[in-house]
C-alpha cells in the first residue's frame, strides 16, 4: 500500500474519536494527590514509610512513583508495587498480590490499604507501601480519581498502539520535499513495527497536508492534535507555521522531534527537540571558521536576507552572534535585484535565502566585477551552487550539518536499508537524515520512558540523551534547556568549475 493511501485510511478511521478526558473537580484533586502527593487544600499530607514508620511528606512518595502514572505498577529494586487500577482491585474473582490472597477491594477496603497498609483480608501489606494520613475529603478524591485512572492517558496512547503525527505537503512547491520526508518516516516506522514496536506498542503515523499558507497549516495542526489526537509530532515541514508552532505546541503540551530551524526560524521551545543544527548555528559556525582560518573578522561583512520580517529578525540575531565572536563591521541587507550598489564594498557576504536568488546574486556580483567571500548553508543553496560563476572558486564556503566522513558502517547500512525500503535515492540527503534521526531520537526516548510513557516523561527521556550516536552525524547532546542536538556545522569549500567539495576539518561547535 502506498503511504498516502495508508494515511488517508488512518484519518478516516480516526474521525469518530472521543475528545479529551474531562475530570470532575474531585477527580482532578485526586489526580494531584496521586501524581504529586498534594492535597486539594494545599496542606501537607504525610506518610509513614517502612517498618520503622518514618514520617515523610507525601510529596516525596506520591502513588505514581511506585504504581506508575497508569496505575500498572513499576517494579524497582526488588519492590513490586502491584497493579492498582480499579478494574483489578475491584475484580470479584479475588486477588493475589505478591503471594497473598484476599477478596475484592471496596472503597472502604481501599481506604484502609492506603491509611493502614492492610488488604481486604486484613493482611499487612509489605511496609514498602507507605501509610498515608488523609482527610476524608482527600481519600474520597483519591478514590474518585483511581476509578478514572485507566481512561486518563495522554492522547494517542493506547494499550497496543502509539499514534504520531506529522505535517507534510503532498502538493505544491514543497511536495517533493514532503514526499521525501514521508517516505523516510514510513520506512523507519515500518521497520520498528516489524520488530514488535516499542514496549508492545505499534507506532502509527498520521499525516495531514499543511497546504501552502498559514491558515491551512494551522488547520492541519489542529486536525492532528484535536481530531487525530496524536501523542507527539515528528519531522513536520510547514514553514508557514514555524513562528507559531512553539506556542501552539506548548499550549497543547504536545512534544515534537524534528529539525524545524534547519530551513527557517529558530524554534527554541521546551516542547521541541531538533536533531540537526538550525540556520543560525550553521551561519555562526561559518563565521567562526572565516575568522579562525581566513581571518576575515575585521572585513566589511554583509548578511543578506530575504525581505521578510522573520528573516530580517534572524539576520539581526546573526549580527549579534557575529559581534560576540569579534566581528567588527557587520551590516544586514534585504536582498533585491536592484540594491547591488550596497554590496560594492562588501568583502564577506553571509547569505540567507533561496537557492535561485543565491545563483542570481553571484551572477550579478560577478558581472559587476565583485568577488567577495561567500558563506551559505548547504540546506538553502546546495541546489544552485553549480550555477555560481567560476570567480567564486574557493571563495565559496557551505555549512553542512554532517558530511559522509561522519557516517559509521552501521549508519551507512541503516541508511541504505531505509532507502531500499522507501525507494528513495540520494537526493535531499540532509532532509532524509534529519527525518531518520528524528525517528531515532523519538524511538530512543520512548524506549527509555518505558511502557508507562507520558508526554512529560518522553520529554524528560529525550532530554537525558547524551553523546547519542546516530551513525550518520556527529554525536548529539540534549539537556534541560538544550533542545538542539547538534549545534554547529561542518565547513565545506567549493571549487569551481570542477564542482569539487572539500571538507575543511572537524565539526565546528558553537554555543
Residues that bind ligand HEC (CB under 6 A): 61, 63, 65-67, 79, 81-82, 84, 95, 97-98, 110, 113-114, 119, 125-126, 128-130, 132, 142
Helix axes 175-194, 409-422, angle to 10 degrees: 110
By beta-carbon proximity to ligand HEC, the closer residue of 63 and 461 is 63
The strands making up 131-133's β-sheet, listed across from edge to edge, are: 54-57, 46-49, 131-133
Q: Determine the length of the chain.
A: 511
Provide the minimum distance between the beta carbon of 253 and ligand HEC in the complex, in angstroms, as a whole number. Answer: 24
Neighbours of 204 (CB within 10 A): 23
Going by DSSP bridges, is the β-strand pair 500-503/488-495 parallel, antiparallel, or unpaired? antiparallel
Q: Which of 154, 165, 181, 153 is nearest to 222 (CA)?
A: 165
d(CA 112, CA 351): 70
By beta-carbon proximity to ligand HEC, the closer residue of 95 and 476 is 95
Provide the minimum distance between the beta carbon of 130 and ligand HEC in the complex, in angstroms, as a whole number. Answer: 5
Longest Cα–Cα distance of the chain, Å, equals: 94
By beta-carbon proximity to ligand HEC, the closer residue of 113 and 424 is 113
Pair 221, 210: CB distance under 8 Å: yes
Neighbours of 347 (CB within 10 A): 15
Neighbours of 339 (CB within 10 A): 11
Provide the minimum distance between the beta carbon of 124 and ligand HEC in the complex, in angstroms, as a whole number. Answer: 7
Provide the minimum distance between the beta carbon of 63 and ligand HEC in the complex, in angstroms, as a whole number. Answer: 3
By beta-carbon proximity to ligand HEC, the closer residue of 110 and 468 is 110
The three cell numbers of residue 509 are 561547535
Provide the minimum distance between the beta carbon of 74 and ligand HEC in the complex, in angstroms, as a whole number. Answer: 9
By beta-carbon proximity to ligand HEC, the closer residue of 129 and 225 is 129
User: 100-124 burial, b if ≥16 CB within 10 A, otherwise e?
Assistant: eebeebebebbbbbbeebbbbeeee
By beta-carbon proximity to ligand HEC, the closer residue of 74 and 214 is 74
Q: Which of 371, 370, 361, 358 is nearest to 338 (CA)?
A: 361
Provide the minimum distance between the beta carbon of 458 and ligand HEC in the complex, in angstroms, as a whole number. Answer: 22
Q: Which of 428, 483, 403, 2 is nearest to 181 (CA)?
A: 428
By beta-carbon proximity to ligand HEC, the closer residue of 62 and 401 is 62
d(CA 285, CA 221): 33
Provide the minimum distance between the beta carbon of 67 and ligand HEC in the complex, in angstroms, as a whole number. Answer: 6
By beta-carbon proximity to ligand HEC, the closer residue of 32 and 163 is 32
DSSP assignment string, 379-439: HHHGGGGGGS-GGGTTTEEEEES--GGG--HHHHHHHHHHHHHHT--STTHHHHHHHHHHH
Provide the minimum distance between the beta carbon of 47 and ligand HEC in the complex, in angstroms, as a whole number. Answer: 7
By beta-carbon proximity to ligand HEC, the closer residue of 97 and 233 is 97
Those residues with Cβ within 8 angstroms of residue 314's Cβ, 6 or more apart along the chain or in another chain: 265, 266, 279, 280, 305, 352
Provide the minimum distance between the beta carbon of 42 and ligand HEC in the complex, in angstroms, as a whole number. Answer: 17
Can you list the alpha helix ranges (DSSP code H) found in 201-298?
214-222, 245-252, 279-294
Provide the minimum distance between the beta carbon of 452 and ligand HEC in the complex, in angstroms, as a whole number. Answer: 14
Provide the minimum distance between the beta carbon of 30 and ligand HEC in the complex, in angstroms, as a whole number. Answer: 9
Provide the minimum distance between the beta carbon of 448 and ligand HEC in the complex, in angstroms, as a whole number. Answer: 21
The residue nearest ligand HEC at its CB is 63
Between CA 455 and CA 88, with CA 58 as vertex, the angle to 5 degrees is: 65
Provide the minimum distance between the beta carbon of 505 and ligand HEC in the complex, in angstroms, as a whole number. Answer: 52
By beta-carbon proximity to ligand HEC, the closer residue of 16 and 99 is 99
Going by DSSP bridges, is the β-strand pair 300-305/348-351 parallel, antiparallel, or unpaired? parallel
d(CA 183, CA 38): 46
By beta-carbon proximity to ligand HEC, the closer residue of 23 and 128 is 128
Q: For the chain, state the CA radius of gyration.
A: 28
The three cell numbers of residue 247 are 506556542
By beta-carbon proximity to ligand HEC, the closer residue of 54 and 368 is 54
The three cell numbers of residue 233 are 509530532
By beta-carbon proximity to ligand HEC, the closer residue of 129 and 286 is 129
Amino acid at each position: 500500500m502506498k503511504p498516502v493511501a495508508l494515511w488517508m485510511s488512518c484519518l478516516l478511521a480516526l474521525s469518530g474519536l472521543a475528545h479529551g478526558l474531562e475530570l470532575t473537580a474531585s477527580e482532578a484533586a485526586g489526580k494531584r494527590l496521586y501524581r504529586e502527593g498534594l492535597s486539594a487544600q494545599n496542606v501537607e499530607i504525610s506518610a509513614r514509610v517502612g517498618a520503622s514508620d518514618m514520617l515523610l511528606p507525601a510529596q516525596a512518595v506520591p502513588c505514581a512513583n511506585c504504581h506508575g502514572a497508569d496505575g500498572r505498577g513499576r517494579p524497582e529494586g526488588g519492590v513490586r508495587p502491584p497493579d492498582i487500577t480499579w478494574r483489578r482491585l475491584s475484580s470479584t474473582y479475588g486477588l493475589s498480590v505478591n503471594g497473598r490472597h484476599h477478596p475484592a477491594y471496596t472503597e472502604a477496603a481501599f481506604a484502609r490499604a492506603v491509611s493502614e497498609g492492610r488488604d481486604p483480608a486484613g493482611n499487612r501489606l509489605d511496609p514498602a507501601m507507605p501509610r498515608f494520613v488523609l482527610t476524608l475529603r482527600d481519600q474520597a478524591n483519591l478514590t474518585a480519581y483511581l476509578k478514572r485512572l485507566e481512561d486518563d492517558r495522554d492522547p494517542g496512547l493506547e494499550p497496543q498502539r502509539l499514534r504520531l503525527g506529522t505535517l507534510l505537503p503532498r502538493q505544491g512547491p514543497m511536495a517533493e520535499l514532503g514526499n521525501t520526508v514521508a517516505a523516510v518516516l514510513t520506512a523507519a516506522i515500518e521497520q520498528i513495527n516489524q520488530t514488535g514496536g516499542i514496549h508492545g506498542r505499534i507506532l502509527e503515523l498520521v499525516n495531514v497536508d499543511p497546504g501552502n499558507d498559514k491558515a491551512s497549516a494551522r488547520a492541519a495542526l489542529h486536525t492532528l492534535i484535536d481530531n487525530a489526537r496524536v501523542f507527539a509530532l515528528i519531522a513536520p515541514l510547514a514553514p508557514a507555521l514555524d513562528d507559531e508552532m512553539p506556542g501552539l505546541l506548548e499550549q497543547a503540551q504536545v512534544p515534537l522531534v524534528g529539525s524545524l530551524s534547519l530551513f527557517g526560524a529558530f524554534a527554541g521551545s521546551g516542547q521541541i527537540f531538533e536533531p540537526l543544527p538550525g540556520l543560525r548555528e550553521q551561519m555562526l559556525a561559518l563565521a567562526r571558521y572565516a575568522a579562525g582560518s581566513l581571518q576575515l573578522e575585521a572585513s566589511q561583512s554583509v548578511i543578506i536576507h530575504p525581505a521578510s520580517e522573520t528573516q530580517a529578525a534572524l539576520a539581526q540575531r546573526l549580527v549579534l552572534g557575529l559581534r560576540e565572536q569579534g566581528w567588527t563591521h557587520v551590516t544586514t541587507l534585504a536582498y533585491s535585484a536592484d540594491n547591488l550598489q550596497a554590496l560594492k564594498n562588501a568583502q564577506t557576504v553571509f547569505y540567507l535565502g533561496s537557492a535561485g536568488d543565491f545563483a542570481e546574486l553571484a551572477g550579478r556580483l560577478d558581472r559587476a566585477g565583485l568577488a567577495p567571500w561567500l558563506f551559505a548553508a548547504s540546506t538553502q543553496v546546495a541546489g544552485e551552487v553549480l550555477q555560481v560563476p567560476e570567480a567564486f572558486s574557493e571563495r565559496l564556503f557551505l555549512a553542512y550539518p554532517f558530511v559522509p566522513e561522519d557516517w559509521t558502517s552501521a549508519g551507512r547500512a541503516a541508511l541504505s536499508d531505509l532507502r531500499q525500503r522507501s525507494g528513495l535515492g540520494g537526493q535531499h540527503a540532509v532532509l532524509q537524515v534529519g527525518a531518520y534521526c528524528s525517528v531515532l531520537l523519538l524511538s530512543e526516548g520512548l524506549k527509555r520512558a518505558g511502557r508507562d510513557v507520558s508526554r512529560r516523561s518522553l520529554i524528560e527521556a529525550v532530554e537525558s540523551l547524551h553523546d547519542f550516536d546516530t551513525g550518520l552525524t556527529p554525536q548529539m547532546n540534549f539537556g534541560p534547556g538544550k533542545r538542539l542536538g547538534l549545534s554547529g556545522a561542518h565547513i565545506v569549500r567549493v571549487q569551481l568549475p570542477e564542482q569539487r567539495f572539500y571538507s575543511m576539518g572537524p565539526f565546528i561547535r558553537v554555543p
